[in-house]
């Protein structure tokens, strides 16, 4: 398997003359993460030098390279879309409007002190599923399926929105084509927040396709270490539930993860559009910073083998998934996550 790895960086411990006292890692992890990515040119906390009157004037700029598309909002790096080099296309890293990286570095960056190193297949932000005609596209083993980029249909910058539309193939390791995918990403120019919409349309190719009932799916991201319950993460959903215990496996219009990162209170919300498959979706929302919308995993979520969340997509037919990522300052109430959902739900679909 061809896997892109960024070159190793000098560990943050090289700048420390002695071992930090017990409990200090909680303070060092956000600092270490920011320094690592800032030094690598891959992101991190950035200087807030733009005057209020100038905010938003940079628009959304997409810069296409051989292996990735770099995306800037208001002149500042937001994320990169890596369409080559991984088992599936991914976004990494993801940044807030202040420049703070909110996604985990591992495994793309191997040497961030104090960062968890579990689940190597949790790479940035992705869309995939753990059971497609019995093949695992979620994990990354020699037997797993792959999602391969085919072409871009649109790579457009804009003053208010940038658009990235691509076509992908879902393939077994033996090369059998299960699904063709059209993926459209819209990134909005918001001075005080970051907003990205993802619409995925999957069409069964060469025969019917069964999406199996498993918790390992589907639109997911692995957030940075501060977004863990052991470091103060608060998970909330649209139904008023709190924590992993209240939100995991439950249906909701949206789920929000809010925590402290350094001196900031930051949140990341995923919103499920009413037109998306099986709205309101269920959520694979874990307190160790895995965050995923999953409309299929019912028997896992309810602990009931009589439930079946699988779905058979007939040959030639299409299923549509539609989500918004909203990165905000403050908690879910302060950021108006419900109002953001309402705006998203009533947005006219662009052609």
pLDDT at res. 18? 38
DSSP 68-113: EEEEEETTEEEEEEE-SSSSS-EE---B-TTS-B-B--TTTS---T
pLDDT at res. 244? 98
Q: Which of 225, 78, 243, 269 is nearest to 157 (CA)?
A: 78
| Cβ–Cβ under 8 Å, residues 90 and 190 | no
pLDDT at res. 55? 55
Prediction pTM value: 0.84
Thinking of the domain 12-16+26-43+56-345, which architecture would CATH place it in? Answer: Distorted Sandwich (2.70)
pLDDT at res. 159? 97
pLDDT at res. 178? 98
Residue 330 corresponds to which tokens in the numbers above? 């403050």
Question: Which residues of the chain, if any, have pLDDT below 50?
Answer: 1-53, 351
Cβ within 8 Å of residue 341, ≥6 positions away: 238, 253, 254, 271, 324
Q: Helices H, strands E: what count in the chain?
A: 5, 18
Is residue 107 reached through a cis peptide bond, with omega within 30 degrees of 0 on the bond before it?
yes
pLDDT at res. 93? 96
Instruction: Kindly give the residue spans of alpha helices, DSSP state H, lying in the chain.
Output: 25-40, 243-247, 298-302, 332-335, 337-345
pLDDT at res. 8? 43
pLDDT at res. 116? 81
pLDDT at res. 126? 96
């Amino acid at each position: 398997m061809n896997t892109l790895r960024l070159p190793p960086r000098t560990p943050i411990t090289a700048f420390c003359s002695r071992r930090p006292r017990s409990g200090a890692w909680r303070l060092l992890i956000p600092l270490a993460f920011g320094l690592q990515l800032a030094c690598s040119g891959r992101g991190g906390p950035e200087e807030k030098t733009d005057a209020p009157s100038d905010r938003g004037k940079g628009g959304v700029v997409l810069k296409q390279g051989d292996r990735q598309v770099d995306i800037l909002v208001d002149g500042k790096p937001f994320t990169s879309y890596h369409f080559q080099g991984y088992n599936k296309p991914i976004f990494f890293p993801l940044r807030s409007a202040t420049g703070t990286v909110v996604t985990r570095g591992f495994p793309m960056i191997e040497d961030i002190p104090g960062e968890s190193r579990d689940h190597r297949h949790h790479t940035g932000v992705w869309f995939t599923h753990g059971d497609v005609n019995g093949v695992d596209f979620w994990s990354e083993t020699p037997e797993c399926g792959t999602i391969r980029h085919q072409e871009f249909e649109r790579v457009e910058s804009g003053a208010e929105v940038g658009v990235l539309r691509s076509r992908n193939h879902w393939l077994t390791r033996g090369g059998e084509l299960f699904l063709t995918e059209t993926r459209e990403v819209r990134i909005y120019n918001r001075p005080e927040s970051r907003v990205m919409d993802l619409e995925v349309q999957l069409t069964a190719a060469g025969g019917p396709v069964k999406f199996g009932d498993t918790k390992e799916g589907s639109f997911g991201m692995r957030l940075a270490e501060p977004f863990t319950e052991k470091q103060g993460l608060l998970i909330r959903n649209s139904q008023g539930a709190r924590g992993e215990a209240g939100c995991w496996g439950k249906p909701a219009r949206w789920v929000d993860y809010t925590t402290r990162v350094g001196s900031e209170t930051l949140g990341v919300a995923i919103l499920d559009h009413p037109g998306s498959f099986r709205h309101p979706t269920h959520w694979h929302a874990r307190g160790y910073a895995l965050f995923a919308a999953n409309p299929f995993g019912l028997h896992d979520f309810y602990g009931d083998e009589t439930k079946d969340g699988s779905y058979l997509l007939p040959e030639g037919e299409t299923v549509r998934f539609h989500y918004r990522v909203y990165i905000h300052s403050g908690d879910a109430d302060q950021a108006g996550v419900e109002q953001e959902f309402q705006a998203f739900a009533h947005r006219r679909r662009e052609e």
